[in-house]
């Protein structure tokens, strides 16, 4: 039983961090498809940072710096250049996936995975069987709560929501929606960096090309599934992680009867079902509506 | 005419902006930007045989991109071209396996049909989810891409596995030479004919039929089209199916043409590049042909970059992504130029 819980926590933590980034962006009115690219940049920067500087804190600093820079670029393109959010987000993702491959290849000369000598600090023996989990796992519920308080119980959160839902009203009371979106994306960037750091150095301490494997997009789906609410979206992310862990477990049990490539697809199928269920419950989502402006404006 | 000129100008400016940003980034990272641009120009068009290579990559890209353009025009964000491309190739490979031994005149059309059906089927379920219950197609088609990638891995390592292949990369049994529609250079009259048929058919569909007019309007203003009595969901479903079928066709062409077999994760950037082409071309079929040639050139330069500029070939992915980042941007400068002509043309 313990090992299943550990496996779930391990796969859920990066997903929850990236989902929180998506929640904050969504509250501010941005459908953030660049999460995937930021997350892989965070993962890559953490591992390269450890290898090159030898310090996990310096590595985390670099990861956050890279992801915040990426977020500012994204903000500039969608807010100042008024680019389509979805296409620009996909572009940012492509930049992250291609850029990390390029960075690894140009530093180490091969496309092989880079392994770091050590990773994030672990919880330690005080936590018994859970001691091998990283400190970011413990920080996760705290952050979920913090994001919930920030979005739902502070003036800042209210202004953020106003900027997303009704920018004109926000402007009317002296809030600058564009600046609020910048703040939201910067916070999201830092969260994506942590998501990447946990994914790469929370258990394996390795960076491989395309290692995020769609987790950023799943985080985006969790935002929709959880109706943009931090707790709801976190539960949705947990659900995807549980399905993923079940898939891995099933591999060990039925590995000889069911092809394992198909079991690996379970989280993606769960994501599609999640989107479908959430539209059944709440009607269509608006992400694609941003598209109309491509031709209208 | 002015409108078209402005949109071409816009595309050119943002593509150049993306290229310039990458040039600066690579220069800062210690590579030589002039050498990089030289290598791209050489590898894409100038070197002997480069144009042939560029065409090899651009022909399948053109097929997929026209489909993407069709569905974007109709207002549906089908970004699952990559998955539809894979499933198309897989369906065609199964058909070829099943009919193995039959005359080529039967096998080739059957494979093409099954590839198109496979691609369409992979677009059908996100289409139905979108049209019947409003599930966002951006996420469902994206997840479809990941699932299709896994299906491809499974097929190449399982049912269609080449027993003589090395363990390094899973691949399917090579197609019988009689069933190939081109050699590994990827240029043959058959492929050119397929591309020409697709181009003409989609051009006619968009510009000369009721469906074309209505789907273009539905993309701009679905409510209006609905009120005028057209059934928007039929237009939507047709857009999904046609774009899926075309991506599947491109997968089939890659399988029966230059590749000759399936490999796990082959051409991973195909769908994304096709989306980019459709956007740069502003959803016009004629534009798509030219833009596909440009991005085909970039793809062909990818092999040439490491030799000439010492840059890893992933640099091309970064360039593509940078262009994607900017391509939908709106520029007040271009608006102003358009207004100088005495008319307030929209820029997109």
> Token pair for residue A223?
């935002």
Q: Does A127 map to a domain?
A: no
Could you please report the per-residue DSSP string of A238-260? HHHHHHHHHHHHHHHHHTTTS-H
> Is A269 close to B279, i.e. CB distance below 8 A?
no
Over chain A, what is the mean pLDDT?
85
Could you please report the per-residue DSSP string of B227-261? HTT--HHHHHHHHHHHHHHHHHHHHHHHIIIII-S
Closest approach of chain A CAs to the CA of B106, in angstroms?
A: 32
pTM for the structure as a whole: 0.89
Domain coverage including residue A273: 2-114+134-291
Q: Does A142 map to a domain?
A: yes
Q: What three-state secondary structure class fits A207? A: strand
Chain A residues whose CB is inside 8 A of the B135 CB are: 272, 275-276, 279, 284-285
How many angstroms separate the CA atoms of A283 and A285, rounded? 7
> Is B317 close to A101, i.e. CB distance below 8 A?
yes
Query: 10 Å Cβ neighbour count for A25?
Result: 32
Per-residue pLDDT reduced to its tens digit, A267-286: 889 889 988 888 888 765 55
Q: What is the pLDDT of residue B144?
A: 94
> Is A294 close to B326, i.e. CB distance below 8 A?
no
CATH of residue A199's domain is 1.10.3470
| Contacts for B273-276: CB closer than 8 Å, 24+ residues apart | B273/B61, B273/B299, B273/B320, B274/B61, B274/B64, B274/B65, B274/B67, B274/B68, B274/B81, B274/B247, B274/B250, B275/A87, B275/A90, B275/B65, B275/B68, B275/B79, B275/B81, B275/B324, B276/B320, B276/B323, B276/B324, B276/B327
Upper half-sphere CA count for residue B204 (Cβ side, 13 Å): 5
Per-residue pLDDT reduced to its tens digit, A44-61: 999 999 988 888 899 999
Over chain B, what is the mean pLDDT?
86
The domain spans of chain B are 48-303
Per-residue pLDDT reduced to its tens digit, B52-66: 888 999 999 999 999
Regions of chain A with pLDDT less than 50: 287-297
Q: What is the pLDDT of residue B254?
A: 93
Q: Does A160 map to a domain?
A: yes
3-state helix, strand, coil in chain A (%, to 5): 75, 0, 20
> Is A90 close to B76, i.e. CB distance below 8 A?
no
Q: How large a percentage of chain B has pLDDT more than 90?
A: 36
Is the predicted pLDDT of residue B133 greater than 90, yes or no? no
Chain B residues whose CB is inside 8 A of the A102 CB are: 311-312, 314-315, 317-318
Q: Does A125 map to a domain?
A: no
Q: What is the pLDDT of residue A171?
A: 85
Closest approach of chain B CAs to the CA of A130, in angstroms?
A: 31
CATH architecture of the domain formed by B48-303: Orthogonal Bundle (1.10)
Number of domains making up chain A: 1
Q: Does A140 map to a domain?
A: yes
Q: What is the pLDDT of residue A40?
A: 94
Q: Does A216 map to a domain?
A: yes
Is the predicted pLDDT of residue B340 greater than 80, yes or no? no
């Amino acid at each position: 039983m313990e090992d299943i819980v550990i496996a779930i926590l391990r796969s859920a933590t990066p997903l929850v961090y990236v989902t929180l980034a998506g929640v904050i962006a969504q509250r501010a009115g941005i459908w953030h498809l660049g999460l995937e690219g930021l997350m892989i940049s965070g993962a890559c920067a953490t591992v390269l940072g450890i290898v090159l500087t030898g310090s996990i804190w310096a590595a985390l600093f670099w990861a956050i710096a890279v992801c915040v820079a990426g977020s500012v670029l994204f903000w500039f393109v969608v807010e100042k250049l008024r680019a389509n959010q979805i296409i620009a987000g996909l572009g940012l993702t492509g930049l992250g996936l291609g850029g990390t491959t390029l960075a690894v290849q140009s530093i180490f000369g091969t496309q092989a995975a880079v392994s770091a000598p050590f990773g994030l600090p672990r919880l330690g023996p005080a936590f018994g069987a859970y001691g091998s989990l990283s400190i970011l796992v413990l920080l996760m519920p705290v952050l979920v709560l913090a994001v919930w308080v920030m979005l739902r119980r502070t003036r800042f959160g209210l202004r953020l929501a106003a900027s997303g839902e009704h920018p004109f009203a926000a402007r009317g009371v002296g809030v600058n929606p564009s600046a609020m979106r910048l703040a939201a994306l910067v916070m999201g960037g830092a969260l994506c960096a942590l998501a990447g750091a946990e994914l790469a150095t929370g258990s394996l301490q390795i960076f491989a090309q395309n290692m995020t494997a769609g987790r950023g997009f799943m985080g985006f789906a969790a935002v929709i599934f959880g109706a943009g609410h931090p707790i709801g979206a976190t539960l949705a992310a947990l659900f995807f992680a549980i399905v993923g862990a079940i898939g891995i477990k099933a591999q060990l049990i039925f590995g000889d009867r069911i092809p394992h490539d198909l079991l690996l697809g379970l989280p993606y199928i769960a994501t599609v079902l999640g989107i479908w269920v959430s539209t059944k419950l709440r009607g269509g989502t608006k992400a694609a509506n941003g598209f109309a402006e491509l031709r209208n404006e | 005419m002015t409108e078209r000129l402005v949109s071409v100008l816009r595309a050119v400016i943002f593509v150049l902006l993306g290229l310039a940003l990458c040039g600066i980034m690579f220069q800062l990272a210690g590579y030589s930007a002039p050498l990089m641009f030289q290598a791209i120009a050489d590898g894409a068009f100038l070197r002997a045989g480069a144009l042939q290579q560029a065409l090899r990559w651009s022909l399948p890209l053109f097929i997929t991109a026209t489909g993407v353009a069709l569905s974007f025009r109709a207002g549906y964000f089908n970004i699952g071209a990559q998955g539809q491309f894979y499933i198309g190739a897989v369906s065609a490979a199964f058909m070829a396996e099943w009919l193995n031994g039959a005359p080529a005149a039967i096998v080739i059309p059957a494979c093409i049909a099954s590839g198109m059906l496979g691609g369409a089927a992979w677009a059908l379920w996100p289409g139905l989810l979108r049209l019947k219950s409003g599930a966002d197609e951006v996420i469902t088609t994206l997840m479809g891409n990941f699932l299709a990638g896994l299906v491809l891995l499974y097929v190449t390592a399982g049912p269609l596995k080449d027993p003589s292949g090395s363990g390094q990369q899973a691949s399917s049994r090579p197609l019988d030479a009689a069933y190939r529609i081109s050699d590994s250079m990827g240029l043959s009259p058959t492929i050119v004919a397929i591309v020409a048929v697709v181009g003409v058919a989609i051009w006619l569909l968009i510009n000369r039929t009721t469906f074309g007019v209505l789907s273009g309007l539905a993309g701009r203003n679905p409510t209006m089209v609905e009120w005028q009595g057209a059934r928007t969901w039929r237009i939507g479903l047709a857009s999904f199916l046609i774009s899926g079928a075309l991506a599947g066709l491109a997968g089939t062409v890659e399988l029966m043409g230059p590749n000759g077999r399936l490999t796990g994760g082959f051409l991973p950037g195909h769908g994304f590049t096709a989306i980019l082409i459709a956007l740069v071309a502003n959803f016009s079929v004629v534009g798509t042909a030219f833009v596909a040639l440009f991005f085909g050139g970039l793809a062909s330069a990818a092999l040439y970059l490491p030799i000439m500029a010492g840059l890893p070939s992933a640099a091309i992915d970064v360039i593509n992504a940078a262009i994607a980042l900017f391509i939908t941007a709106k520029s007040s400068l271009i608006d102003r130029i358009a207004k100088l002509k005495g008319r307030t043309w929209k820029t997109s």
